[in-house]
Amino acid sequence: MSQLIGQLHDDVEDILDNSLKGVRPDKEACLRLLRSEDVQLMGLVAGHLTKQRFGKKASFVNNIILNYTNVCITDCKFCAFYRSPGHEEAYTLTLDEIEARVKTAREMFKITQVLIQGGHNPKLKLEYYEDAFRMIRSKYPEVGVHGLSASEINMISKVEKSSTKEILSRLKVAGLQSMPGAGAEILDDEVKAKISPKKISTADWLRITEEAHREGIKSSATMMYGHVETENDVANHLQKLADLQEKTGGFMAFIPWTFEPNNTLMQSEGTVRFDSGGEKLLKMIAISRLFFDGSIDHIQSSWLTAGVGMAQLALQYGADDFGGTLIGEEVVSCTGSRATEMTDESIRRSVEQIGYEIVERDNFYNPV
């Protein structure tokens, strides 16, 4: 492998050669990778590192995504899902409706996880979430609760006039087991001022995520790219996640995903007209593996925003996890994107088509 890199005399050959020797890129090396156009060579090395760690296997979780409310006061310019309070299309699920969805999904699809995310609804008290989590864990103990972004936790703390640390502690007691990494977008306040000026700051996202990790609530980390960010913003984002991981070890997975502009304010304003495409996804997957190898174990292939074909390729460029079945997904589907849910059988078939073994996992990446 090292000989191949040397023969190509690539502008990042020293970085890739170091990766093969177990030396992860620093932020400056990451910038060089982001500026390089040799995506295939990055993918070759990232794929090699992934196979060394996991073999020719990919994991997935059989889950539903429970978008419990679309009511939101944050008005993110990149979101096509939210509705303002009082809008005719606004909704909030009742506890009975939540139970009915989980019950149906468990009986029909044998789900082992419910991913719970929604808008920033100022009328929802902490007890709403506690009751939902407690119900799921008591009635369906085989189903893990993976829910609420740091920004949702921040919203609940404002409603309750309580600390985010206290909110996390109570939610854990009620049944919250792990958290998705949403709300990060790009961890830079100048970027956030352009795409989500009312949303949680970079410092608050990092603080709340660290509090969750200290509370024993592990999480995933995400990055939404393909809008107004620069390569330097991306490198800084990755470095901030790496620094937090070094402190807490609480990130289980990293998920880079492509911004989908359809039906968003950013598209109507002319800020972003199209998504950034498949090659950019593969580049981000490969760089993610190189940058986090040995730090954050799992890199997700992001089929939801990139499509199944690109997710299959992503497994060969450094990803090891296919994500979830995401039955009931409503957020990305509001952009008019491709199909936004899969069955466990369709995921198995998609992974086996490219000669990989597929392994179903639980909330914590343990084989089911």
- Binding site as annotated, residues: 72, 76, 78-79, 149, 185, 302
DSSP-assigned states of every residue in 185-230: SSS-HHHHHHH-TTS--HHHHHHHHHHHHHTT-EEEEEEEESSS--
- Rounded CA-CA distance 234/358 in Å is 31
Tokens of 39: 């995506």
- Rounded CA-CA distance 199/151 in Å is 7
Distances (CA, A) of 312 to 284, 345, 355: 15, 15, 10
Binding residues for (3R)-3-methyl-D-ornithine: 149, 302
Q: Where are the beta strands (DSSP E) in 240-332?
A: 251-258, 298-299, 321-324
Binding residues for S-adenosyl-L-methionine: 78, 185
Binding residues for [4Fe-4S] cluster: 72, 76, 79
Smallest CA-to-CA distance from 145 within 362, 365, 368 is with 362
- Rounded CA-CA distance 326/63 in Å is 6
